[in-house]
């Protein structure tokens, strides 16, 4: 068993994601996704749990987007990609599901999605892009679900979410073990980028 | 007539966009859109005409995303928005239509688009998001169209582009005058942000 890469717990919004984290810098961490839209879909977030771009300091912005660049380079190389989508839903009314600033990085290549270069946006509309919903589902499966209101309304549910399509309903979230292994792999690959 | 804000020509890819530019910094410029997806949809680009995030220097990345933050703050205030979409199509296979790095900033508020927070992505799929196609169309209208191949295939056409929907076909690009006035207005509003 290799020594743990990360020595203290890392939270993404209310969610403990330490085993999903593959890279950290003074202000930023990068994590693998519970239900990636495409293989290699990762998230980059500031350590400070603030929701909006406007909340970030100049040092945090520089560090975060330099990390996006370095992580993008690794992801593009490892997944033999030719392009990347980089997207921020900055606030609930823009589709943000976890109130902790994060940039999506998604590797792309020709013909990877039916519908062409921009088809990834359709997937971000559906259940696939609902990072918060996925993490809440996992919390419930772990038997320590987040609070639900007595009227049965789930809290933290993304506004304006599209109904989940059948194909996605049957898709299972990835296991902790699968994500931990991917995070270890990406951590090794990041070493090559820094060299 | 106010003195010109911008003293030398600014190019976005092959396109002269000086009158659309409302803000410049040492490494970055911000411009208004020919066919915005929503009012206040603007683009932020580095002065250096490079296509990909990986091409940017650390100084360019810091300057560009600090400018995205400042411009976002202005756009959110001026358009009474509550959120923003920030998106980069980093390469043709991710939907990039002009090979000059640019971040889209789109102000959002509840119920602004049928379909909720992420519906903006559907619009980016269609002709609405095809920044390059729109600018080429304008060049043709100006009577100095870009080269067309003898086989009639338009060059610079975005890969994987969705067919234009009828509603968009009849929508006219904005006039030079309208964009120039909007750019002047945004330039004044940017002064308030810096104060």
pLDDT tens digits, one per residue of B114-142: 766 667 776 776 555 678 877 877 777 77
pLDDT category at A143 given cuts 50, 70, 90 is low
Rounded CA-CA distance B58/A114 in Å is: 35
Q: Does the pLDDT at position A189 exceed 70? A: yes
Average pLDDT, chain A: 81
Q: Which of A58, A89, A85, A54 is nearest to A72 (CA)?
A: A85
**Portion 38-67 of A in contact with B at CB < 8 A:** 53-54, 56, 58, 61-62, 64-66
Rounded CA-CA distance A107/B46 in Å is: 22
Closest residue of chain B to A107, computed from CA coordinates: B94
ipTM above 0.90, yes or no: no
Task: Provide the percentage of residues in chain A whose pLDDT is more than 70.
Answer: 74
Question: What is the distance in angstroms between the Cα of B3 and the nearest Cα belonging to chain A?
Answer: 32
Contact B183, B19 (CB under 8 A): yes
Given CB atoms, is B140 within the 8 Å cutoff of chain A?
no
User: In whole angstroms, how far apart are CA B143 and each of A49, B13, B72, B97, B137?
Assistant: 52, 19, 35, 21, 10
Predicted pLDDT at B104: 96
Task: Output B91 or B193, whichever has higher pLDDT.
Answer: B91
Rounded CA-CA distance B92/A190 in Å is: 25
Predicted pLDDT at B122: 67
pLDDT in tens, A87-134: 999 999 999 999 999 999 999 999 888 766 667 776 776 555 678 877
Rounded CA-CA distance B86/A91 in Å is: 11
Rounded CA-CA distance B19/B31 in Å is: 9
Residue with tokens 């590797």: A107
Helix, strand, coil in percent for chain B, rounding step 5 = 35, 15, 45
Q: Does the pLDDT at position A156 exceed 50? A: no
Q: Does the pLDDT at position A161 exceed 80? A: no
Which of B41, B100, B102, B134 is flagged as catalytic?
Answer: B102
Q: Which of B87, B89, B121 sits opposite A117 (nearest CB)?
A: B89
pTM of the model: 0.82
Q: Is B106 helix (H, G, I), strand (E, B) or coil?
A: strand
Q: Is B169 exposed, middle or buried (0-12, 13-18, 19+ CB in 10 A)?
A: exposed
Rounded CA-CA distance B124/A129 in Å is: 16
- Of the candidate ranges A114-123, A182-191, B99-108, the one whose mean pLDDT is the lowest: A114-123
Predicted pLDDT at B166: 34
């Amino acid at each position: 068993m290799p020594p743990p890469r990360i020595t203290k717990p890392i939270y993404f919004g209310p969610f403990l994601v330490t085993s999903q984290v593959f890279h950290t810098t003074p202000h930023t961490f990068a994590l693998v996704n519970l239900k990636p839209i495409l293989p290699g879909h990762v998230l980059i977030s500031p350590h400070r749990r603030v929701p909006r771009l406007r909340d970030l300091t100049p040092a945090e912005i520089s560090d975060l987007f330099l990390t996006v660049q370095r992580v993008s380079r690794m992801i593009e190389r490892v997944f033999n990609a030719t392009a990347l989508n980089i997207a921020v839903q900055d606030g609930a009314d823009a589709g943000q599901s976890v109130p902790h600033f994060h940039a999506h990085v998604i590797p792309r290549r020709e013909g990877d999605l039916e519908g062409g270069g921009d088809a990834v946006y359709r997937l971000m509309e559906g259940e696939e892009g609902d990072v918060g919903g996925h993490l809440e589902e996992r919390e419930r499966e772990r038997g320590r679900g987040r609070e639900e209101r007595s009227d049965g309304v789930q809290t933290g549910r993304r506004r304006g979410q599209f109904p989940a399509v059948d194909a996605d309903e049957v898709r299972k979230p990835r296991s902790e073990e699968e994500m931990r292994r991917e995070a270890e792999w990406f951590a090794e690959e990041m070493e090559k980028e820094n060299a």
